[in-house]
A and B are shown apart, each in its own frame.
Chain A
């Protein structure tokens, strides 16, 4: 791993695309220290005391939002959860107006999830608060990528040189995009597998191996990451049925046996049991899915600390 940077550039975390490997190392190292806070009797440090963090979610999410909320509270920040139904957006207030109205309470950071790729970039340009991307359309989900890398590093001691297989809807998955950027930056050998109808163009330009045969992807793998299949994709004609998807691409115990004996199984959640992953695999000893959730809080604490620590947020550089 490269030497950690001494700070993060900029006031926002919009994507792994903007981080270099030394910044990624800084976040992961800081997350290690943050993870220890969770084991204390008083799971709180005063670091962001008096700072306001707004969770502005335009897409429903329990898992990511609660993870951020706990991370914020453990840093003693004042949190505000705002869930905006897309219907309110259709009724008329623009994204920029919504965010600028919230700026009136001077948040240090806004954690934003939105259905449109690039929505967080738009807010980062127009808001003084630091913007943390909690998932924008099908573009990136950087804190998920970071917690996945943290989990792999925790279990395997490193990322460089590992073979990591990612299986599922590669085209629509922002988790996929963040992960491949991050894992290739840290020197892993990434294998992506999914139906051709769900594979984006140009993966080889990123140094990612692609295959439509899941057996080839998981052969000798150190980690297998399953992506969630959304029901709408079947209705959109990308593949014929969930049953067929599971037969061709599902992670079964037989397929897991092709990987290394100490391979770990990962999933960003929520899982569709019997669609992308068999229950025995999800609940088996190799699964680190629940660790990912725990690590998510530590990684998000690290991100919030690194962005909101170090002075008042000046207008964007």
Chain B
């Protein structure tokens, strides 16, 4: 199957390209990227006139997603999660191990990959547990899981329990040059908190999670990364202190990378009080923090302290959210709103340019996880996301491909969206609202 994408703005920071190009795809590979590829030279190709209002980028990769399978299929499955991913423009997702059973061994890893192959939509890169059962005691079978296909290790949902365990994990995974991804939260400081410890949470009588709960563990992990030479990737950072620590750590030569979610760069804790007071779709861990923290994240996205935008897509059944705030499950979905929020709140707001956005959503995740993609040069795998930066989008949770609807963005009008998603040369998603791609149907291999 040949595909000729004509006349779009190609943004490929890894190749240093940002301009109008034609892209020729054959089978699962990109075979040519040129200023102009005449139709005659692409015999038998399906020609798609995209035009300069659309952007052709290397496929986006979300390196922090909860697919919930095995064990919580009422919330999401690999099939529905990957459908949600491609609708959100993601050609690949890395999924966290807090399933049931926990993905702490090769057989669960293989199961997840089998489900992903059956769904045949986005690529799935399993993240294995650091410790057996994510209990924070014994190291899990890291080498075996790597063999089965894991790309990184994390006890996400929880922090890597002790400094001692974190050190061993960094050393051991360092053997394979693989990162340990940590959910930074000191449990003794966070206590039974459900919201950011600040004025707004106090006004609502919600137990607080202080910023220090994240900061002390970020500091711990950077010190250990520096000491061991291992690579720590810090998940969903939310505080100004964390960003400062990462900057300092990087300048000292520690191998630390980090990610931020779209909800953390968009919302702050004042939203808990209005428009919908005690909205459980604002409950997540780490919590929404102060305006100053959010502004520090925006600065970090711009100046390079932050490497990745990842959604921490956390689907939950409505029953788990339609309860008192204290009892509601933590987390919101994010795959189908990430691109629109990123364009609307970062690019159109003048904080970063499109090139930087592609680094955050594609180049850097591919590099950190050492998976294919992140570039669309000739010979590269044809994982491509076609973006519509000026598309008016109204978020409609009822229409999500995900099983879950737990988002605080329902009804928001944003500028920017996804036109089409191509995985290995196959069109796996086409947006009917974008005229240039509306006619595209999923290709059958």
A and B touch in the complex (CB under 8 A): yes
Question: A107-129 CB contact bits vs B (8 Å, 1 = yes)?
Answer: 00000001111110110000000
**Interchain CB contact (< 8 A) of A201 among B202, B277, B325:** B202
Given known A116-B327, A117-B205, A122-B324, contact A205–B278 (CB-CB < 8 A) = no
Question: A128-144 CB contact bits vs B (8 Å, 1 = yes)?
Answer: 00000000111110000
Shortest Cβ gap from B35 to chain A (Å): 57
**Interchain CB contact (< 8 A) of A118 among B197, B277, B319:** B277
Question: B301-336 CB contact bits vs A (8 Å, 1 = yes)?
Answer: 000000000000000000100111111000000000
The CA of A122 and the CA of B202, in the complex, are separated in Å by 18
Shortest Cβ gap from A123 to chain B (Å): 10
Contact A119 B199 (CB under 8 A): no
Question: B197-221 CB contact bits vs A (8 Å, 1 = yes)?
Answer: 1111011111110000000000000
* Chain B residues whose CB sits within 8 angstroms of the CB of A17 once the complex forms: 203
Given known A117-B325, A121-B277, A122-B278, contact A138–B205 (CB-CB < 8 A) = yes
Cβ-based interface call for A202 (8 A): yes
Closest-by-CB residue of B relative to A121 is: B278
The CA of A129 and the CA of B206, in the complex, are separated in Å by 25
Cβ-based interface call for A65 (8 A): no
Closest-by-CB residue of A relative to B326 is: A116
Contact A139 B324 (CB under 8 A): no
* Chain B residues whose CB sits within 8 angstroms of the CB of A96 once the complex forms: 322-323
Shortest Cβ gap from A314 to chain B (Å): 21
Shortest Cβ gap from A307 to chain B (Å): 19
Contact B205 A201 (CB under 8 A): no
* Chain B residues whose CB sits within 8 angstroms of the CB of A267 once the complex forms: none
Contact A114 B324 (CB under 8 A): yes
Cβ-based interface call for A163 (8 A): no
The CA of A116 and the CA of B43, in the complex, are separated in Å by 66
Contact A95 B323 (CB under 8 A): yes
The CA of A200 and the CA of B323, in the complex, are separated in Å by 25
* Chain B residues whose CB sits within 8 angstroms of the CB of A74 once the complex forms: none
**Interchain CB contact (< 8 A) of B323 among A94, A138, A177, A202:** A94
* Chain B residues whose CB sits within 8 angstroms of the CB of A119 once the complex forms: 324
Closest-by-CB residue of B relative to A171 is: B202
Contact A95 B324 (CB under 8 A): yes
The CA of A116 and the CA of B194, in the complex, are separated in Å by 11
* Chain A residues whose CB sits within 8 angstroms of the CB of B278 once the complex forms: 117-118, 121-122
Closest-by-CB residue of B relative to A137 is: B205
The CA of A136 and the CA of B278, in the complex, are separated in Å by 12
* Chain A residues whose CB sits within 8 angstroms of the CB of B277 once the complex forms: 118, 121
Contact A118 B324 (CB under 8 A): yes
Contact B326 A137 (CB under 8 A): yes
Contact B203 A174 (CB under 8 A): no
* Chain A residues whose CB sits within 8 angstroms of the CB of B327 once the complex forms: 116
Shortest Cβ gap from B291 to chain A (Å): 13
**Interchain CB contact (< 8 A) of B202 among A114, A118, A140, A202:** A202
* Chain B residues whose CB sits within 8 angstroms of the CB of A95 once the complex forms: 323-324
Contact A201 B323 (CB under 8 A): no
Contact B205 A140 (CB under 8 A): yes
Shortest Cβ gap from B239 to chain A (Å): 15
Given known A118-B204, A139-B204, contact A202–B326 (CB-CB < 8 A) = no
The CA of A117 and the CA of B204, in the complex, are separated in Å by 7
Question: B269-302 CB contact bits vs A (8 Å, 1 = yes)?
Answer: 0000000011000000000000000000000000
Contact B326 A117 (CB under 8 A): yes
The CA of A139 and the CA of B207, in the complex, are separated in Å by 10
* Chain B residues whose CB sits within 8 angstroms of the CB of A115 once the complex forms: 326
Closest-by-CB residue of B relative to A14 is: B277
The CA of A121 and the CA of B279, in the complex, are separated in Å by 10
* Chain A residues whose CB sits within 8 angstroms of the CB of B204 once the complex forms: 117-118, 139
A-B contact pairs, 19 of them (CB 8 A): A94-B322, A95-B323, A114-B324, A116-B325, A118-B204, A118-B324, A118-B325, A119-B324, A122-B323, A136-B205, A137-B326, A139-B206, A140-B205, A174-B205, A177-B203, A201-B197, A201-B198, A201-B199, A202-B198
